[in-house]
Every structure is written in structure tokens, then in C-alpha cells.
A and B are shown apart, each in its own frame.
Chain A
Amino acid sequence: MSDAVTVVTKDTFDQVVLQSQDIVMVDFWATWCGPCKIVAPVVEELAKEYEGRVTFAKLNTDENPDLASRYNIRGIPTLMFFKEGKVMDQVVGAVPKAQLKSKLDALI
């Protein structure tokens, strides 16, 4: 696991995600989820490509069920895009990197 993607929990979510000045992409995932394993390396790559422009975070839904239900997570992986504490967009399931890039580029 690289340092490019910040692990967030219920204790750090407000600070890292909601109070950030950057666009933040959060990867909601769990250890037992196959498709999450497809998305994780893509998120790592994006984190390197967008370093300094976008914050990347990942949240384990098993360990943080309250946050998962606050954001109505019904399937993982869910990638949620935040700007100034608000959800701007979201993608569910393993999608091609190009699709994630276009969503990020639209927000920056």
C-alpha cells in the first residue's frame, strides 16, 4: 500500500475529506470484495498522477459502517468525489481508469 492514498476512518474522515481544500476521491472498499481489488491499483496510479491536485483516500466499510450508511453505500467499490465537503459525483463498481480521469478532470 503506497502512501499516496490516505487511509481514513470515522475519526479522521471529517478532517481529511470534508474539511479538505482539495478535491477528494474516496474509495469505499472491504477486504472480501473482489472488484475492489481491481480498483485499488487504479486508485494508486491516479494518486500518483494527480499528486498535489487531488487527495485520494480509502475507507474500509466493515470497520466504518456508520460512514458507509451515512453515504448510502449499497455496493462496493464505490468511488465518491468530494469538493468542499459535498459529494459531487460517484461511481460504483470497477470502471476503466479513463472514466475516473474524466470525472476528476471535470471537477478540477
Chain B
Amino acid sequence: MYDVIIIGGGPAGLTAGLYTSRARLKSLLIEKGFAGGQVMTTEWIENYPGFEDGISGADLSRKMEKQATKFGLEIVQGSVIDISMRGGIKEITLEDENRYETKAVILATGSNPRPLKIEGEDRYRGRGVSYCATCDGAFFKGEKLAVIGGGDSAVEEGLFLTKFAETVYIVHRRDRLRAAKVVQERAFANEKIKFVWDSVPEKIEGDDSGVKSLHIKNVKTGEQSSLDVGGVFIYIGYDPNTGFLKDLVNLNEGNHIITNENMASSVPGIFVAGDVRVKPLKQIATAVGDGATAAIAAEKYIDENL
């Protein structure tokens, strides 16, 4: 029996594990992929305090993992398929049929890139369609690429892709970016980046070797055109990983978990941290705050109820 089981090993989950371990609660973190989560695939992070020159996502992930395990957090790899309640005890079932019992749960399952849902996207996935510039960018040396989106991820990854690509088109449905101003300034100053405003992707075309072009439509004029690109990188947002939680905790219409200010979900003893919950800003800096709050709330719950 664990005191706390944390599901998800991104910054929120690892911080929760750091705090619960230091509270001397017997803590287990279950991660389906690799510690770090989305941060692991982020090339460079320069808005997380304490690293004045920035830090790579991979390094930050490893540091957070080391710091949490140093205080006793156990980490296992596995995919959670079910959480069931037996009185105050929660039983967690993994895909490999392993089961764990715990007094409290912290859900930090994060989110996944949202697909465009247009023709050609699935067909050319991994053959020019990508959701991870750091994973796939190096395969596009000297080519023309399209990045879809106008937020931080889209513009930062677009800048990263200029290391390899000849031209990076940033295709955005509006006429201005949502990205942080400092990131915008960098993008506007980069000669390899060209902006395609007020436009949405309609269809991705290619042949056996992969993507050849992206069809786009101007939402103001209705004009259709096409960009000759070898790759399409999609950064239009993220969907929360709450598929297995639908019947357990209250979600909002976007499938994010609703919490109070103590990170408590609608179920006693189940707490939530990071991108998976309803919150105005999804950043590493806010995820670690959630993780700490959820951990202390879980400690209090165990003290008072079990």
C-alpha cells in the first residue's frame, strides 16, 4: 500500500513526488513514457527561473527526476488504464495488469498535441507530418517547411526548425501571434521565417517519399493556395490525457479536470496537477506550483481521513 501514487512524470508529477517523498509519504510515480513529459522534447527552455542562460528540456527533466528520486520517490514505467475506489483506498490498474493500492492519488497526466484533422495528416504522419520539431527537424535539411499555429510552441519550434530548413512558413489563422513578445521579436527578425496570416490548412498532399505540399485557405478572403513544403509541423494546442478518467472525476467541456485551489478533484483523495487541469496558463513554472500544492493537500487528506 502506498500513501501517494502520482500518475504522470512531467514537471507537475515530479514536483509532487519531490514534496510527498520529503513529507516521508511512501510515494510511487507511474509514467507511461519517460520522465519529463513534454518538457523532454522541448529543445531549449529559457523561462524557467534559476537557469539564467536557459536549459535543455532533456537536462531539466533529468534534474527534476534525480531530485525527486533522491528523497525516495519510486518511479515505474506503465500505462494506467483504470482507477477504482474501495472505501478510502484507491486501486490503480496498469495495462500490464499490475495493480497498486494507495491512500491518495495525484493525477498529472498532462496533455498531447492536438491533431489538425485534415486530409493527409494521418497518411503522412512520420513522413513529413510531425508534432515534434526536436524529434524530426533534422530530417529536413535545406527544405521548406510549414509550422501551423501562432502560440509559444509554434513560434519557438519554428525558430528551432530554421537551424535545418531553408524556409519556415508559420501558418496562423489570425493576423497576429499569441507567442511571448520576446519570441515574436526573434521570429520577425529571422529571415528564414515567413508568416502566412489569416490562413488555415485544408489538405496535405504528397507521394511515396512523403509530404510535397500543404493546401491552405485564407479565412478573410476565401482564397486558396498551396505551399510547396516537405514537412508540416503542427502546434495548434494540446488535448488533456483524461480518457481513462471520464467516469471518475468531473471534467469541463474541454475534458480538463476541474479542481479547487488546493488541486482537489471532485473525488476525495484524488488530486490534480499540471496541464491536465482547468487553468489559465500552462507552463513549467505553473506546473511545479500545482505539484507542490497537490502534494501538501494529499498529505493533509491522509492525515485527516486515513
Q: Which of A34, A73, A74 contacts B34 (CB 8 A)?
A: A34
Choose from A72, A76, A91, A96 the contact partner of B135 (Cβ within 8 Å): A76
Q: What 1/0 flags go to A21-35 for Cβ under 8 Å of B?
A: 000000000101111
* Total A residues in contact with B, Cβ cutoff 8 Å: 24
Instruction: Count residues of chain B with CB under 8 A from any CB of chain A.
Output: 28
How close is A100's CB to chain B, nearest CB, in angstroms? 13
Contact call A78/B126, Cβ cutoff below 8 A: yes
> Do A93 and B125 touch across chains, with their CB atoms under 8 A apart?
yes
Q: Does B258 count as interface, using CB distance less than 8 angstroms? A: no
Contact of A38 among B33, B58, B136, B208 (CB under 8 A): B33
Known: A34-B58, A68-B139. A93 touches B126 (CB 8 A): yes
Counting CB contacts under 8 A, is A37 at the interface? Answer: yes
Q: Which residues of chain A from 61 to 101 have a CB within 8 Å of any chain B CB?
A: 61-62, 68, 72-76, 78, 90-94, 96
Separation of A107 and B128 alpha carbons in the complex (Å): 26
- Which of B36, B41, B95, B231 contacts A74 (CB under 8 A)? B231
A21 to chain B, nearest CB (A): 27
State the Cβ distance, B30 to closest chain A Cβ, in Å: 14
Which one of B33, B128, B210 lies within 8 Å of A35 (CB-CB)? B33
- Residue B252 CB within 8 A of the other chain: no
Interface residues of B in 265-293 (CB under 8 A from A): none
Contacts of B230 in A (CB 8 A): 74
Q: Mark B177-211, 1 if CB is under 8 A from A, else 0.
A: 00000000000000000000000000000001111
Which residues of chain A are near B127, meaning CB under 8 Å? Answer: 72, 74-75, 92
Closest to A97 in B: B95
CB distance from B163 to the nearest CB of A (A): 13
A41 and B32 alpha carbons, distance in the complex (Å): 12
Contacts of B241 in A (CB 8 A): none
Asked whether, in the complex, the Cβ of B34 is within 8 Å of the Cβ of A37, the reply is: yes
What is the 8 Å Cβ interface bit string for chain A, positions 10-52, against chain B (1 contact, 0 not)? Answer: 0000000000000000000010111111100100000000000
The 14 sampled A-B contact pairs (Cβ below 8 Å) are: A33-B134, A34-B58, A34-B132, A35-B33, A37-B40, A38-B33, A74-B127, A74-B210, A74-B211, A74-B231, A75-B125, A76-B139, A92-B125, A93-B126
Residues of chain A whose beta carbon lies under 8 Å from any beta carbon of chain B: 30, 32-38, 41, 61-62, 68, 72-76, 78, 90-94, 96
Told that A33-B135, A35-B33, A35-B132 touch, could you supply 8 new A-B pairs with CB distance under 8 A?
A: A33-B134, A34-B40, A61-B139, A74-B127, A74-B210, A75-B139, A90-B126, A96-B95
5 tightest CB-CB pairs across the interface, nearest first? Answer: A92-B126, A75-B136, A75-B126, A34-B40, A38-B33
